[in-house]
Chains A and B, each alone.
Chain A
Amino acid sequence: MAKVKVRIPTPLQKLTQDKAEVEAEGTDINSLILDLERRYPGIKERVCDEKGKLRRFINIYVNEEDIRFLKLDQTQLRDNDRVSIIPAIAGG
């Protein structure tokens, strides 16, 4: 299990007692989300759809790299990685 810091977007901070950054553990993004759900119940259904897959408009970055450039939800985590959950970008 890697210990990581997770940046929480504003709409989800109601679930994390208004904290913009929290600590959590996981070997990859999937297990990290399960750990976040244990610590902050309700967060998983916001980030994942009914089938448990990451919602289309959630972007997750590990150390500033979009996980779609890595191994998606199976991207491995190491101690002290910084994970950011960022809502859909707009623009265009």
Chain B
Amino acid sequence: MSYIKGLKCRECHRHYPKEVLFVCEYCFGSLEVDYDYEAIKKVLTKEKILSRPKNMWRYKELLPLEGEPTDGLNTGFTPLIRANNLAKVLGVKELYIKDDSVNHPTLSFKDRVVAVALSRAKELGFRTVACASTGNLANSVSAQAAMAGLRAYIFIPADLELGKVIASLIYAPTVVAVEGNYDEVNRLCSEIASKYKWAFVNINIRPYYAEGSKTYAYEIAEQLNWRAPLHIVVPSAGGSLITKIWKGLKEFEKLGLIPEVKTKVYCAQGKGSSPIVTAIKENSDIIKPVKPKTIAKSLAIGNPADGYYAKDTVLQSGGWAEEASDEEIVEAIKLLASTEGIFTETAGGVTVAVTKKLIEQKRIPPDESIVISITGNGLKTQEAVYEKLPKPIKIKPTLSSFEEYHRKEQ
């Protein structure tokens, strides 16, 4: 049973069939999946959700498939952690971490969108999948395509962190390292996508793919015992995740699964790659692209596809935006590790640093519920912190050698 009515232009609201389409041919706005919410409301109850396995597909009626899911059957339902140690440091009362750094199978939130994209790609008859990626998406498409027996072409900027390159190559896709930044990779992939009959998960089947991010928000609401947090801080690159988190919460509200959503949504970007933050702060009508320069490479998108929607989401919710410098990112990665035992990647450093700033600026009040979105794993971006950490103590394999060191330390 499918609840997809079709696709709809986010700008001019023209309707399209549920095919391989992603741009409105009239006004060039991006297309979005249009659901039959009346029908969903009749079947998707709390009891139904609670009776299903703990993975992202427990909300499958709100995801754009016509049949049953075939991918990502262990993806999602990652921990929502009550972060009391970090809360103490930041001076707030009720703080949570939604921890997708331990998502299955490739340790980032991208496993959610790829699970939807591959399930849908197969329904649409594709045998080859592809993506333009800053790393996490590359890893997830590589792994899930291997499981699904699909061919995969992975396009990445040539200067990516080694951990992210290896975590794609291990699954034996075709990895193409493009000499250029992500925006250039993206433009190239748009041309390739128009010529080859492949499912580019974040280009020609993007309307379906992007819906997977909503499950991040559904889980937060369910894990908070069926309510939305009052504040959520979200890292932004292309701006899709933040809009889908908002959409997910509003859908739960619409279906009567949670009370009225009063969540304020905050956008976090790395300084040197923060076109959305700039537009929000200046309340500008245009998103001025930038040439990205930040250690948060997974967020280094200078021309964000969903920049306008991200900005609209933040302002509509009453939230705000901030950026984090390279130094602040590293400090925040260390802070999260030393307080909550979570080693996040640079994007997570951005989010923690920005949360800290927004609390200091009193944009986020200390006595209300706050969720920090941790979307990736630090083992993939070790270069970012390696030089900033103390070196291990070298000793001989004898007790006296250890005690010699230990005496000095005391």
Seen from chain A, the residues whose Cβ lies within 8 Å of a Cβ on chain B are 10-11, 46, 49, 55-59, 66, 68-69, 72, 86-92
Contact = CB atoms under 8 A, between A and B. Distances in A.
A11 B26 CA distance: 8
B28 A68 contact: no
Interface residues of B, number: 35
Contacts of A68: 286, 288-289
18 contacts: A46-B27, A55-B29, A56-B11, A57-B27, A58-B28, A68-B288, A69-B289, A86-B187, A87-B28, A89-B187, A90-B30, A90-B186, A90-B202, A90-B203, A91-B132, A91-B186, A92-B186, A92-B240
Contact of B202 (A58, A69, A91): A91
B23 interface: yes
Contacts, number: 76
Given A11-B28, A46-B26, A91 B288 contact: no
Given A46-B26, A66-B303, A89 B190 contact: yes
B246 interface: no
Nearest to A53: B285
Nearest to A11: B25
A59 B26 CA distance: 15
Given A57-B11, A66-B303, A69-B289, A91 B29 contact: no
Contacts of B326: none
A68 B286 CA distance: 9
Contacts of B30: 57, 88, 90
Interface string B172-186: 000000000011001
Contacts of B183: 89
Contacts of A92: 186, 202, 237-240, 301, 304-306
Contact of A10 (B194, B202, B237): B194
Contacts of B304: 92
A21 to B, nearest CB: 15
A55 B23 CA distance: 13
Given A57-B11, A68-B289, A69-B289, A88 B29 contact: yes
B308 interface: yes
A58 B301 CA distance: 18
Contacts of B200: 90
Contacts of B306: 92
Given A56-B308, A68-B289, A91 B203 contact: yes
Interface string B349-362: 00000000000000
B120 interface: no
A91 B286 contact: no
Nearest to A91: B186
A86 B28 CA distance: 9
The 3 closest A-B pairs by CB, nearest first: A92-B238, A91-B186, A11-B25
Contacts of B206: 90
Contacts of A57: 11, 23, 27-30
